[in-house]
Structure 1
Amino acid sequence: MIRVLYVDDEPSLLEISKFFLERTGEFEVDTLNSATAALPVLESGCYDAIISDYQMPEMDGIAFLKAVRQNSDIPFILFTGRGREEIVIEAINNGVDFYLQKGGDPKAQFVELAHKVKQAVSRRQAQIERDRSKENFQNLVNNAPEAIFTAINGKFRYVNAAGVELLGAPNAEALIGTELYDRIHPSFHESVRERVKDLIEKQVVVKTQDEICLKLDGTPVHVDISAVPLHGPDEPTGLLIFVRDITERKQAEERLKAAYEQIAEAKEELKERVQALVHSEELIRKSEEKYRILFERSMDGVIIISNNRFTDCNEATLRLLGMTSKDQLLNLHPSDFSPPFQSDGSDSYEKANEMIEIAMRNGSHRYEWLHKRVNGELFFGEITLTAIPLGDEIILHASCRDITDRKKAE
């Protein structure tokens, strides 16, 4: 359910907009007649989107948008009767998600409004996920046990926590912008320059090499270094460098000579484990490929449901529903391809959720369902839902078979 705050100084429009949006079953709409009253309400953070008129007393829609954008990136739809170009430009410049002009066929207008709200909310949720993924990746890199650096034009651009410790710096800022070669022992400068040249010009990965780097106080540290090319938009090719401190290993090499045979055996065992892992991954890949073939070639419609929304389907499903692309189905609720009510008079949206809950609770569930194709044609389907654990969530594997002819015969 999408929670919407609608702000407009026209009570009649607030009332009819709330009616049309909530009638879809996808929205919960709160209304206010002034932007100044809306600002403290938004501090609760309980809304997914804002719809606002432009011309209002005390604070107009643009001023309201500016105030909201000071603290939040919540989706903001400007829904107004004013269509002047300068208003549109100012709204866009201040971060409006969509600009929708009032007027025309009310039904079509509110369908479009609902679509824009859902689109804006979906887009924001996707951005939140991308930001979370980026943050997780940054945390992973910064907390990696090995030192990781990036360098462009021979200067440090990024240093993780392990890199700061390795080079004896007080913080990353003490290294960023300084010369990379200042931290490499002079006896290795020539060989390092040659490998860096090959890496940038030929895109050849620099394999692990034993080098000596220098801490900020000049203390030498024996390290293993590997590097790969780093490409960024509108930037020259840089380096992504992985450095591991091997000082203790170097100091212990003399003592480990007698154990060479044992190390060689351990290396061979590790190689076999890696090969076994590669073989296991290949078996998994082939298994996934077989499942995908069975999924796509099934004569019955097959749909994957996560969080009560369609996330994938096969070609048979598209044919059943009269669709041409999976994009027409993804992220929609099962009731979106059903008449408002089932043949027993129950509400399609509520009953679909009930069927899903039964399948989740019991592991599987089979039932009959009245569907609606894209062209409006109704047909009966026999549905089988199967709950499948997948990582931290449980998804539903749904199969659908057209039983309209059988129902007519009955």
Structure 2
Amino acid sequence: MTEEGESERYREFVEESADIVAVVDADGTVTYVNRAVERVLGYDPGVVIGDDWTEYTHPDDRETVTDVLEAVRTDPDEPRTVELRLRRADGSWCWIEATAQTRLDDGSIGSILVNGRDISEHKEREAELVTTKQRMKLALEGANLGIWDWDMRTGEVSRDKLLTEMLGYTQAEMGDRMRGWEHVVHPEDRDRHDEALAEHVAGRTPYYRCDHRLKTKSGEWKWVRTMGMVVERDEDGEPVRAVGIHQDIDDRKRAELALKEERDMFKEGPAVVFKWEDTDGWPIDYVSENVEEVLGYRSDELRSGAIEYADLIHEEDRERVGEEASELDAEGVESITLDPYRVKTASGDVRWVKEYTRVIESGGETDHLLGYLVDITERKRRETELQQFKAAVERSAHAIYITDAEGTIEYVNPAFEEITGYSEGVAVGKTPRILQSGEYDDEFYADFWGTIRSGAQWEAEMIDERADGQQIVLSQTVAPVIDEDGDVGKFVAVARDITDRKEREQKLREREQKYRSLFEGTRDALMVFDRDGYLDCNERALELFGIDTVEEFRERTPWDLSPPRQPNGTDSKVAALERIETAFEEGGAFFEWTHQRNDGEEFPSEVKLSRFEYDGQPAIHALVRDISERKKRKRELEEREEKYRSLFENTRDALMLLDRDGFVDCNERTLELFGIDSGDDFVGRAPWELSPPQQPDGADSKAAAMAHVETAFEEGEAFFEWTHRRTDGTTFPAEVKLSRFEYEGKPVLHALVRDVTARKEYERRLEEQRDNLGILNRVLRHDIRNDLQVITGYVERLADECDDASTGDHFETVRETVDHAVGLTKVAREMADVMLSTDEASRPVDLRPVLQSELDEVRSTYSRAVVSTETSIPRTTVEANDMLSSVFRNLLKNAIQHNDAATPQVNLSVTEDDDTVVVRVADNGPGVPEAQRETIFGKGEKGLDSQGTGIGLYLVDTLVESYGGEVGVEDSDAGGAAFVVELPKAE
């Protein structure tokens, strides 16, 4: 890849970074910012460039920003990190963690480089964490329990003061990370602790509980009970936060362990039971039969009184045992465990025993003692050998340390302290990570642990770091210690300080390393050869050609690394010799070449040969660069260009490319649409040349077209309707979409023009039909209402002139029928409004005043009916519009008009949940048969001619459905019908 290409790739990385990357000058003016500023803060990068950084900073944080800029200017080698608030484009504030560093010495930047990361969610979690801790403290303070709060995503742990003081630490010494707690867990308890936690995190236990030992600041171990629970998980079920308590159970736990130790003492080896008097010499009253197997004495021989228990104890231990046994006489002491001592067997041998003794009250003047003797001779022998080994280790000049199976240091010798600078008190309980210098990656340590945990020995020379920060070189051997079960129980490490030797070797290699570093560090294959063949090569050359060693590479010639012939048919050996000779004579040569790897695979390359002096003799330095990817990208680019050209030509819309000077390309559809003969005739024209002088709104076409073009260049796109003109003078309406993109290294616009003549004609006819329908609706309603008013007038006159009381009911029936017909014209008007409405958008409507208004109207209109509300009408808003009142007007009137009861009764009730409101209108009329409930709203076949019960219910169903709700009918408690309307609540 060329230097220009490499630079472009890094520029793309910066532009696509999720974090804000900005460059500001010494005064804080933004000179560059990547596209992340739009994703994070909502600003177009072009808007921010040229502004003072502090203009976007929260007033309370501006002094901090000024201090940071001053700090990086005065100390350019030290980056500064600060948390601050920046104003988003919508006016809100966003928390940013910004790191600033002076890059004045970098010619490509030459200012201050600022990286910003959005930490708003982190800040919100911190605030929630503070609230939770306050609540937990109040809840548990009275229980004298230490509490903890663990953010499982960040690893941060909040511990109260009581919790850390339980172990003797301050909160600062414990730290705020989970690993601060893990370091004090007893090595033998760690697996059990981790398993208990893992079981709960996986959801297999309701809470996490574990009794384990923690190391106090004084170095002692304290038994603590930990209980906790995951209280928050994310949407994927992963744990986010856990809280819990620590309880000091040290006294109780130690008592339990002491009891267990007494029960388990017989597991240490063969035990002999003695009972003797607590007097001088300890006369033996009883001894178990297995004494002969352990000490060689017969049981009856010891019980005869000829031998006292004191006679069995070794002379050198007798006095000490007596002193320890005297503790049983102390007040309140009922049992003791004596330190191991020696006893003599019947054959004169010496055995080591451990004694557990307690007082037995006999009821007489003399107490009796019951003792259990466990033979620990073999264990003592191993301990002696271990002491001898330890003495040798203590005197060793090499650093020796021992760890448990998990890598926790249990022992270090004096040489370890001298070589590493870490004392025994500091090192024990830590891991060998304290020696890490940062020179090795995770893969190195993974290989190390994989080797020794498999039971194999590991040897290496490593660069480590002393306690004072000085680097040292240690030749280390680490070997596993296998236990009786065949498992790795511990590790033993021996480290020899070879720092001085390595420094001497390093000085001898410095000159070669300088050259080799450059030689090996390049990304290209480098090799050195003379007329006889190769002299040297770098690792990249071995990788590129698939050759294992430099020695093997030296056996080759340049033409050995090529196919017999080049793609142009020339003989590879002849062509290679010619170019080598040219380089020797003229000082260099540069050409493309086809090479061949060791496995036979061929690849294209660039080769540069340069003559230089090597060990006093002329030689050639060859640089070989694999250009397979470049060739592949070139082919892909050509294929992609061909594919896009095919899409460009085959679309049904007119497509063209233009810059500020005019059109630069177009497809065939463009030529057809505008009646232009060829692309050459089209290219070079300006957009306004394909338009009439003025647009239908009177705007000048040239000025309007230039404005749309400039908008697309500045904002990235523009979409508008336009009137174009063909070369024959005819015009047509079109939709135009302009999109900015890069074409041959410069910004251009992609224009899509779609002829919308047919659509415009359809819209015109549709609007004309709507207008005609509206006029027809108004005329019919006007004429019908006039006729109905005339009928009403004549009926009233006839009623006044007729004295026959028997005809009064007929006149009343006529009046009600006319009123019903007037109501139908009102419903028809509302239905027409719905059918003619083009605005389908709903809005929040307060339900209470709508229902209350319709209830009041129906009560005043139908005085003979009883209209009640079962529940209070809640103050809530639903998604609807001004036509909502028509829904409930029709339902309430329908419940009375179609009611055959002597006194129509109508009951309205309202219920709601989180998302919907349900209004129920119930009556005591004849009800609706179940077979008719699907068709009562005209649902059988939608339309005014459907088999429903009237236009009113059809209007109800139409409106409710347009609001996104549902309407249905069911039986009421009074035996009639109940209409149920479910409406969505407004957002």
Query: Normalised by the size of structure 2, how large is the TM-score?
Result: 0.18
Higher RCO (CA-CA < 8 Å; seq separation 6+): 1
- Asked which structure has the greater CA Rg, the reply is 2
